[in-house]
Structure 1
Amino acid sequence: MGWLSSSPAPAESKNDTTSGLLRFFNPSTPDPEFPASTFLNHVSHGYDKNELAYACIVEKATSGPEAPVRVYDALGRRGEPIEDHPMRRLLASPNPLLSEYELFELLYLHLDLAGNGFWEVVRDRAGTPVELWPLRPDLVRMKRGTRQVSYGYVVGGRTVPVEAIHFKLPNPVDPMVGTPPMRAALRATALDNEATDFVKALLQNSAVPGVVVTMSDLQHVLDQETTNRLKAMWKSAYGGRKRGEPAFLQTGMDVKQLGLNLKDLEFPDLRTISESRICMSFGVPPILVGAKVGLDRSTFANYAEARVSFWEETLMPLQRRIRDTLERQLLPMFPSGAGRRRVILRNDTSEVLALKESESARWTRATEGLRAGGMTMNDWRREVGLPEVPGGEVFLMPSGVIATRDAAGELQQVGTAQPATQPDPKPDPDPPADDAKAALRDRETERAEAALVAYLEGRRADVLGQIHGKAVGIDPATWNANLTGVLATLGLAASSAAGASTSETYDIERTKAYQHRRAENAAKALNYTIAERAREALVSPDPHAAVADLFDALKASTAQQIAAEMTDESLAWGVAEAGRQASRRDHDTTE
C-alpha cells in the first residue's frame, strides 16, 4: 500500500501501452474553472490581485481626468470656456469630500470594473443640482419603466430611491447595462494569477526534494540515524550561503536532481500571451504599464507614440461617451438659458503632455500661420509663449494679397518688396481723418446690425410658424438667397463709402463681384447654424421657449459680431480697391 493512496492500485498489464494516456486524459478531469464575472470578483481577482490589470485600470483612471470637461458657447466661435457656468462650477467642486479629479478617477475605475458608473445628484430647494456623489455600481438597482429608468441604492439592506446619472459602456445584449473590459480580461487574468500562484507554491513548498542521494551498492544499507546525520552534514556544508560549493561523495554514492531550478519556473510564452490579452482588453499599450511584452521592443520613440495612440484610440472615445452622458442627463437639470441649446461640452486637452507639440514644432506652426496672414503678431507671440507687445494686433500679409485690418480696425500690410522690374506704385491717397473713419465704421456697423436683426426676426417667424404648420418653415435655399442679397447690399455700400472717401473716381464693378461672393458664403454658414439649432429647438419639450432662446442669443451676439466683421472687411476692401485703382491709373498714365 502506497503512502499516496488508501487502497491497493489495480494490476496493470505490461503490454498495455495506452494505460498511461488513459490515466492522463481521464474523462473525469474537471474543466478549468474561472471566477464568476461579478463586480466584487473583478475587484478581488483583477484590481486587487493582478499587477497588470491594476496597472491598466489605474493608467486609464489617472490619465482620463487630465482633460477636464469644460463648457463652451455653442453659437459662438471656439474660444475660451465659460468658467462661471453652473454645471462647470458643480464639476469643479462636486461635494465636500471629493475633488473633480477624484470624482472622474473613480468613474473610470467603475467603468473598467463594472461597465457602469453612477453619480447621485443632490439638489437644493430650488431644484438646482448642488452635489454629485459616486455610487458603488453593484449596489445600484435599476427599475425600467415605459419611457424612463428609476434608480435605487442599497443601504443597510434596504433600497432607497436616488436620482442618478448613469454612465455605461456598450453592451450588445442589453443596451441599458454596460459591459466592463475586466469581464473580457477575466480569463487571461485568472491564468496569469494561477501561473504566479503555481511558482509561489513550488518555491514555498513543492513537496519534492531538491536532490536525492542513492547508493549503487545495495549491500550498504543506511539506517535512519546515519541518514539523518548525513543529511545534516550535507545541509551544513552546502546550504545557505554555501550553496553551489563542490561536493565530494564516497564510493557508490550518486546525486540526482529532482527539484526545479529558476529557469524551469519560467513561462515566457504563457506570460506573454496573458499580458498582451490583458492589455488589449483595456486598450492600454503594454509599454505604458511596464509589461514585458511591451518592454521587449521599447524605445523612447515607441513610448511617445504609444502615449499618443493611447489618448487618441482609447481615452478620447471614452471621454466622448462620458461627455455625451453629461450633456444628455446633467446639463438639462440647470435653468433655461444655461441648457444644452446654448452650450456644448468639450474635454480640454491643452494641458495633456502626451498631446502637446514639441517646442520646435509649435514655433514652426505658429510662424507659418503668421507668414500666411492668418494670425496677428500678438497671436503669434501668445502661441509661442511670449508676452504681447503694444501695436502687435497687426497681420503680416504676403505681397499680392489684399490688405486686412488689425483688431482696432486700422489697415496694415507688411509684405515682401515688389520686383524691381515693376514700376513703383504710388502711395495710397491719404486716408480719411480718424474721426471721420470711426464715424463711418460706426454708421455702417449700426446699419448692418439692424438689417441682420430684422432678418433674424423673419427667420424666427418662419420657425415658429412651422410649429403650427404655417408659414415657410425652415427653408435654407430661400433663406440663403434672401440673406445673400442683404449682406451684398450692405457690403457694397460700406466699401463704396470707404473707396469714395479716398478717391473721387471709385469704380464699384470689382467690389460688386467680391461682395456677392463673400455674402453668399457668409449666408450659407449662418443659415446652416440657424437651421441646425432650430431643428433641435423644435423637438425640445418646450419648442416655443427653445426657439425664443435661440433667436435671442443670435440677435444679442451673433448679429453684432457678423455686422462688425463684415463692416471692417468691407471698409478695408474699399480703401485697398481705391488704392489699386489709383495705382493702375498712374501706371497707365506713365506708359
Structure 2
Amino acid sequence: MPSDVIAGPWGRLAAAMRGKPRVEQKASKAGPLVALTLAGRAVWTPRDYASLAREGFERNAIAYRCVRMIAEAAAGVPWLLYEGERELTEHPLLRLLETPNPMESGADLFESWYGFLEVAGNSYLEVVELGGEPRELYALRPDRMKVVPGRAGWPEAYEYSVDGRTAMFACDPARGIAPILHMKLFHPTDDHYGMSPVEAAAFAVDIHNAAGQWNKALLDNAARPSGALVYKGGEGARNLTEDQFERLKHELAENYQGAANAGRPLLLEGGLDWTAMGITPKDMDFIEAKRAAAREIALAFGVPPMLIGIPGDNTFSNYQEANRTFWRQTVLPLVSRTARALTRWLGPRFGEGLRLSYDTDQVEALSTEREALWARVGKADFLTEDEKRAAVGYGKK
C-alpha cells in the first residue's frame, strides 16, 4: 500500500487535510464522524430518542428484555438466496451478509438493526461500494440521521450528524438507488419516520419505573409506611424550637431510616409521641400495578408475558405455545420485511432475479410445526415425490 494512502475510516479525512486527492477506498462514510467525537448531542428524529432509549430500555427491565429477545432471535435466522426458483448456496451477496464489515459479523450487524428498529422505530443501513460493487454494510444510529425530503416528498438525501459534523448521503428517487436503506415501523401521523413500540408503551413504562422507584423508597425507609411525630408538651407548652426540630430530623435520618436500621426502637423524649399513618394494604399494592404495566409493555412489543416471567393473564397453555406465537407473530414478520427490503435495495447491485429469504428450518421453536407438516405431506399419497419436496420448501430431487 502506498505511504500516502491510509486504510480505514480515517483515510479520506486525512487525505483531505493534507490537500491530496482522495483515493477511492472501502470505508464507512459515517466512520470519521463517530471517531472524531466522544458523544453525539444532536437528536434529529421528531421525538426524544434519548429519553425513549434511557427510560424505555436502559432503565426498564421489561422493555430491555423484549428488545433483546426480538433482536437476538431475528438476527439469528439464517438467510437464503434464490435466483428465480433455484437456491444459491454460494454468492457474494450471502458472503456480504455473513461478514458485512471488518468489525462485525452478520448476526451482530442485524442485532443492532432490529434493536434500533424496536427502540426508535427506524433503522438505517449504509452500503459502502468500491468500484461499483458493495463491499461493506454498517448499521447507523437513528438519532444521528435526518431525512431530507425532495420536491416530490420522497427522500432525496440523508444527513448523518455527529457533534456538528455532517455526512451527506445523496439518493436518486427516480432510479431507486440510495446508499442508505431506511426501514421504519408504521406511523399514522409522520411521513418520514416510524413509531417505536417504546413510544406506544410510554405510559406503561413510566408507571413501571415509578412503581420501582416507590418500592425502593419504601426499602430506604425501613419498608413500612411513614408516621408522624406529635409533640405533646404540657399545658402551655410551646412548639419545638428550630434547633430542636432540625436535630430531630437529623437523628431520624441517621439512626432510623434505611434497611440497616429496620425495626430499631424509636427513642422519644420531651413530650414526643409516634402516630403511624394508616395506609391500607390495597393502597400499598404497587406490585400488581407494576405487573399490569409490565404486561402492557410486553403487549406493545409483541412478546407473550409468559416468556419474560410476568404472572397473570397467561392465555397460552404452555411455554412452547407462547414461544411459537412469539416467533410467528413478532420475529418472522420483521425478518420477512427485512428480506424484502434487502432484496429491493441490494439485489439489483448483484444482478437481476435475485431474491433473499430466510430459513425457518433452523428455528428450533418451530420444530413441532415442521414435524407436523412433514407427517401430513408424507401421508399424502396423491402427491409425487417432487410435489412433496416442493410442499415442504425443497426443490426437485
TM-score normalised according to structure 2 size: 0.67
Match of 2:320 in 1: 304
Superposed CA deviations along residues 161-212 of structure 1, whole A, max 9, x for unmatched, are: 2321111111222343211111111122112222222333344359985575
* 1:200 alignment partner, SS class: helix
Tell me how far apart the structure 2 counterparts of residues 154 and 114 of structure 1 sit (CA, whole Å): 17
Q: 1 CA distance for matches of 2:217 and 2:260? A: 23
Whether 2:290 is the aligned partner of 1:271: answer: yes
Q: Which of 358, 381, 388 lines up with 1:347 in the alignment? A: 358
Which residue identity is paired with 2:210?
A: E
Letter aligned with residue 191 of structure 1: I
Cα 1:302–1:97 change in 2 (3 A) is same
Residue number in structure 2 paired with 1:117: 123
Tell me the equivalent position of 2:39: none
Q: What's 1:63 paired with?
A: 73
The reply on whether 1:167 has 2:183 as its aligned counterpart is yes
CA distance 1:165–1:57, change in 2 (3 Å): same
Which position in structure 2 is the counterpart of 1:506?
Answer: none
Question: CA, structure 1 residues 172+253, in 2 after alignment: closer, same or farther (shift >3 Å)?
Answer: closer
Identify the residue that residue 86 of structure 1 maps to in structure 2.
92
Q: Any idea what the Cα deviations from partners look like across 1:12-53, whole Å, max 9, x if unmatched? A: xxxxxxxxxxxxxxxxxxxxxxxx942111111111111111
Whole-angstrom CA distance in 2 between matches of 1:216 and 1:148 = 76
Q: Flag the structure with higher helix content.
A: 1
The 5 Å alignment of 1:71-110 reads 71-76=81-86, 81-110=87-116
2:143 equivalent to 1:138: yes
- Distance in 1 (CA, whole Å) between partners of 2:260 and 2:52 is 42
The residue number in structure 1 matching 2:201 is 185
Is the counterpart of residue 196 in structure 1 residue 212 in structure 2? yes
Give the letter for the 1:290 counterpart: G
The whole-number CA distance in structure 1 between the counterparts of 2:85 and 2:377 is 29
Q: How far off its partner does 1:258 sit?
A: 3.3
Cα distance, 1:236–1:276 mapped onto 2, change above 3 Å: closer
The Cα of 1:118 is off from its aligned counterpart by 0.7
CA distance in 1, matches of 2:311, 2:54: 23
Residue 153 of structure 1: SS of its match in structure 2? strand
Counterpart-to-counterpart distance in 2, 1:180 and 1:223: 55
Q: What is the Cα deviation at residue 344 of structure 1?
A: 2.0
Runs ≥4 in structure 1, deviation > 4 angstroms?
Answer: 205-224, 226-229, 239-247, 252-255, 259-264, 363-368, 373-376
User: Does the 8 A contact of 2:116 with 2:123 survive in 1?
Assistant: yes
Aligned equivalents of 2:312 and 2:345: distance in 1?
Answer: 41
Contact kept, 8 Å, 1:57 with 1:112, in 2: the verdict is yes
Is the Cα contact below 8 Å between 1:59 and 1:289 reproduced in 2? no
The AA in structure 2 aligned to 1:114 is: A
Tell me the equivalent position of 2:381: 372
Percent same amino acid among aligned pairs? 32
Q: Deviations over 1:56-105 (max 9, x none)?
A: 111111111221222123234xxxx4231211110000001111111111
Tell me, in whole angstroms, the C-alpha distance in 2 between the residues paired with 1:42 and 1:260: 34
* Pair 1:367–1:282, CA change in 2 (3 A): closer
Would you say 1:288 and 2:307 are equivalent positions? yes
Higher strand fraction: Structure 1 or Structure 2? 2
Letter in 1 for 2:355: I
- Once residues 279 and 48 of structure 2 are traced to their aligned partners in structure 1, the CA distance between those partners, rounded to angstroms, is 37
Deviation at 1:289, TM superposition (A): 1.5
Aligned partner (choices 310, 319, 334) of residue 335 of structure 2: 319
Max radius of gyration: which structure?
1
Among 216, 232, 256, the residue aligned to 2:275 = 256
- SS of structure 2 residue aligned to 1:198: helix
Residue by residue over 1:340-384, the C-alpha shift from the partner in whole angstroms, topping out at 9 and shown as x without a partner, is x2x3221112221211128xx9399449716838687xx99xx9x
Assess if the C-alpha contact under 8 Å between 1:323 and 1:346 holds in 2: yes
Change (3 A) 1:272 1:370: closer
Shift of 1:284: 1.0
How far apart in 1 are the matches of 2:262 and 2:127? 65
Relative distance call for 1:278 and 1:123 in structure 2 (3 A) is same
Identify if the C-alpha distance between structure 1 residues 373 and 46 changes in structure 2 by more than 3 Å, giving closer, same or farther.
same
Amino acid across the alignment from 1:279: A
Give the structure, 1 or 2, with the largest relative contact order (CA under 8 Å, sep 6 or more).
2
SS in 2 for 1:177: coil
Distance 2:262 2:220 in 1: 18
Match of 2:157 in 1: 150
Gapped regions of structure 1 (runs ≥ 5): 1-35, 384-557, 566-591
Cα separation, partners in 2 of 1:220 and 1:114, compared to 1, 3 Å? closer
> AA paired with 1:104?
F
Structure 2: which amino acid aligns with 1:332? P
Report 1:32-51 matches (<5 A).
37-51=47-61
* Gap change, CA 1:123 and 1:368, over 3 Å in 2: closer
Measured in 1, the distance between the counterparts of 2:285 and 2:108 equals 39
Residue 356 of structure 1 is matched in structure 2 by 367
Distance 1:255 1:290, change over 3 A: same
C-alpha distance in structure 1 between counterparts of 2:185 and 2:50, whole Å: 18
Q: Letter of the aligned partner of 1:277 in structure 2? A: E
Give deviations 1:399-445, integer Å, cap 9, x for gaps.
Answer: xxxxxxxxxxxxxxxxxxxxxxxxxxxxxxxxxxxxxxxxxxxxxxx
Return the alpha-carbon distance in structure 1 between the equivalents of residues 215 and 194 of structure 2.
36
- Cα distance per residue 1:115-134 (max 9 Å; x no partner): 11111111112x11010011
Greater shift, 116-125 or 363-372, is seen at 363-372
**Post-superposition shift, 1:137?**
0.7
Counterpart-to-counterpart distance in 2, 1:223 and 1:203: 29
| Code of the aligned partner of 1:152 | E
* 1:199–1:265 Cα contact (<8 Å) kept: no
Query: Any residues of structure 2 matched to 1:553-572 within 5 Å, and which?
Result: none
* Aligned match for 1:129, one of 129, 134, 152: 134
Q: Note the 1:421-436 alignment, pairs <5 A.
A: none
Write the distance in 1 (CA, Å) between the matches of 2:364 and 2:100: 25
Q: CA deviation at 1:220?
A: 11
In the alignment of these two chains, the number of paired residues is 327
